[in-house]
Amino acid sequence: MSNSIFDAKNVNFAYLGKYSALRNVDINIERGQKISVIGANGSGKSTLLHMLDGLIFPDEGTVKAFGRELAEDAFNDEDFSKDFRKKVGLVFQNPDIQLFCPTVREDIFFGPLQLGMEKKEIKKRFEELITILGLGNLLERAPHQLSIGEKRKVAIASTLIIEPEVLILDEPTAGLDPLTTRHIIDLLVQENASGRTIITSTHDLHIVEEISDIVYVFSQEKKIVKAGHPGVILQDAALLHVNNLTHIHAHSHNGKIHIHPHSH
């Protein structure tokens, strides 16, 4: 069996045929890898992740998943579509897109019931996830009554419960407090250790090392300008700086405010 999960070749994509969002993108992802995608706002990260999830298709070039080209006709094939949706799970950057049931509990149960997973299995996984993510006291609430961080945790639970072979996460720790971020990273690392492929976009350089075997850096031109091991990418101060990824810290010293970049 081939180990290739995704193989994108020379992909170009523009929204409505005019707002360019991916340019000449090549990316190859193998089973069990941890991949991260970093870059400034608007550099194409979400677009790439949506394409890997089969929500949009290239204008030029090809994306293959598990050896088959991802195109509209592949998703018209019900067997392929169902199998793909079971294998690949996406946590959207905006949790409001993902949550639509009257209660948090129903939202988390929705996907696995839809996919025909066994009730007993769902229940077991549900208990684990709500404990890890601390969602126990939110289960009867309406998702729209939650804070953004709480919504994000529910969205993560509703994807992880399906136990997809490939987890795609679009800025999963944005807006989360440090302890919750820690729990989520631990969870992702654990999912990867059990064989799942994880693909994460983020701005949070603190988490990059743990969630990446390979980091792809997108530029404002919607191109991948660099790919490499996290140790190498995170040392490249000039690359991070031109791509808006350096934190600028301000602190007060002898009554004056000093501003300087913060390196990792």
Ligand X SMILES: Nc1ncnc2c1ncn2[C@@H]1O[C@H](COP(=O)(O)OP(=O)(O)O)[C@@H](O)[C@H]1O
Amino acid at 221: E
- Interstrand relation of 247-253 and 4-15 (parallel, antiparallel or unpaired): unpaired
Contact partner, 219, from Mg ion, ligand X, none, Cβ < 5-8 Å per class: none
List 8, 27, 36, 47, residue binding ligand X (CB under 6 A): 47
Residues present in the chain in total: 264
3-class DSSP state of 100:
coil
What residues numbered 8-37 form the site for ligand X, per CB under 6 A?
15, 19, 21
CB neighbourhood size of 210 (10 A): 14
Inter-residue contact 3 to 29 (CB < 8 Å)? no
- The least CB distance from residue 172 to Mg ion, in Å, is 12
Q: Which residues contact 169 (CB under 8 A, 6 or more apart)?
A: 90, 91, 156, 188, 198, 199, 200, 201
Nearer to Mg ion, 34 or 45 (CB): 45
| Count of positions on this chain that bind ligand X (CB under 6 A) | 11
Q: Which of 1, 2, 17, 41 binds ligand X (CB under 6 A)?
A: 41
Residue ranges binding Mg ion (CB under 5 A):
45-46, 93
Q: Is 45 in the site for ligand X (CB under 6 A)?
A: yes
CB-neighbour burial class of residue 190 (10 A; exposed 0-12, middle 13-18, buried 19+) = exposed
CB of 170 to ligand X, least distance (A): 7
32 binds, among Mg ion, ligand X, none (CB under 5 to 8 A by kind): none
Question: In the set 24, 30, 42, 61, which binds ligand X (CB under 6 A)?
Answer: 42
Residues found near ligand X in the complex (CB under 6 A): 15, 19, 21, 39, 41-47
